[in-house]
Amino acid sequence: MLEARDLAALRGDRRLFSGLDFAVEAGDLLQVAGHNGSGKTTLLRMLAGLIVPEQGMILWQGQPLRTQREDYARDLFYFGHLPGLKDEFNGVENLRFASELAGTLVTAGEAAGALARFGLEGFEDLPAKVLSQGQKRRVALARLLLSEARLWVLDEPFTALDVSAIDVLRAILQQHLVRGGMLVMTSHQDVAVTHSGRVKQLRLGR
C-alpha cells in the first residue's frame, strides 16, 4: 500500500500543494488531475523517490520510502516525460537492456512479443532514432508488459499515441488493476481506464 501523509511541495515561492493525504491500495487507480502547472509531475516524481518532499512523508507498506529505497524500487515502475530509449538500439535491445537494469531478465522473444502487442511488428530492427514520436513512446511503454512491479506511476502515458495504441495501453492498465496492481497516473486526455469503481481522483491546483 502506498500512502502519503501531509505531503507538501514548494517550488520557488510557489506552494504547489500542501496537506495532501491519500492511500493507494491493491487494485486502486489514483488519477491525479489539475491544470497545467498544478504540480502533477512534481507529485509523481516525489512518489518515485526522485524528489525529496518539502514536508510530510510517503510510506510504502507502512514504512517511509527512504528507509527501503531498493525494496521500493523493485516494486515500482516509473514512466516520466522522457521515453528513456537509446537512439542506437533497436526496440528489442532497448527493452531488454532497460528491463535488465530494472532487475528483470527478458529474452529477445518476450521483448519482441511486447513490441508486437503495441503494433510494432516489422519495426523491431529499426534503431529508435528513426522512429516517430509516437512509435518511440510505444516502445517505451512496451516495458509495462515485461514489468512485475506492483506500483505503476505513469506521467501522461497517452501523449502522442494514436487511437489504436491508446486502446492497447488501456487494456494493459486494466489488466494490471484486475491483477491487484496499483496505478498512479496523470492525463489531460479523457481516457476511461477502468469501470471497476476503484478509481480515486486527486485534484491539484485551485
Partner 1 sequence: MKRTGTLGAMRCMLVRDLTLAVRRLSDVLTTLFFFVIVVSLFPLGVGPDLDVLRSIAPGVVWVAALLASMLALGRLYSSDYNDGTLEQLLVAPQPLSLLVLAKVAAHWLISGAPLVVLAPLLGMLLGMPADALQTLCWSLLLGTPVMSLIGAVGAALTLGLRGGNVLVALLVLPLYIPVLIFGAGAVEAGMSGLGADAHLSLLGALLLLALCCAPWAAAAALRISME
Partner 2 sequence: MSGINWFKYASPASFYPLAGRLVPWCGGITVILSLIGLYIGFFVAPTDFQQGEAYRIIFIHVPAAWMSMCIYVVMAGYAALGLIFNTRLSAMMATSLAPTGAMFTFLALWTGALWGKPMWGAWWVWDARLTSELILLFLYIGFMSLQASIDDPRRASRASALLALVGVVNVPIIYFSVKWWNTLHQGASIRFDAAPTMAATMLTAMLVMTLAFWAYTITVVLMRVRSEILERERHTDWVAETLEQGK
Instruction: Give the interface with partner 1 as residue ranges (CB under 8 A).
Output: 48-52, 70-71, 73-74, 76, 78, 80-89, 93, 97-98, 100-106, 110, 146, 148
The whole-angstrom separation of Cα 67 and Cα 155 is 25
Burial 42-62 (b: 16+ CB within 10 A, else e): bbbbbbbbeeebeebebbbee
What are the backbone angles phi and psi of residue 50, rounded to the nearest 5°?
Answer: -85, -25
193 neighbors 29 (Cβ within 8 angstroms): yes
Span 120-149, contacts to ligand ATP by CB under 6 A: 126, 130-135
Span 97-126, contacts to its own copies by CB under 8 A: 119, 123, 126
Q: Does 68 bind Mg ion (CB under 5 A)?
A: no
51 neighbors 17 (Cβ within 8 angstroms): no
Q: Which stretches of the chain bind partner 2, using CB under 8 A?
A: 10, 13, 15, 127, 129-130
Span 7-26, contacts to its own copies by CB under 8 A: 11-12
The whole-angstrom separation of Cα 165 and Cα 79 is 16
Name the minimum Å distance from CB 133 to Mg ion. Answer: 5
Q: Does 87 bind its own copies (CB under 8 A)?
A: no
Closer CB to partner 1, residue 111 or residue 194?
A: 111
Name the minimum Å distance from CB 12 to partner 1. Answer: 14
Closest CA to 30 of 172, 199, 193: 199
The grid coordinates listed for 10 are 514548494
Name the minimum Å distance from CB 19 to partner 1. Answer: 22
Contact positions toward its own copies, by CB under 8 A?
11-12, 34-39, 41, 81, 119, 123, 126, 130-135, 137-138, 156, 159-165, 188-189
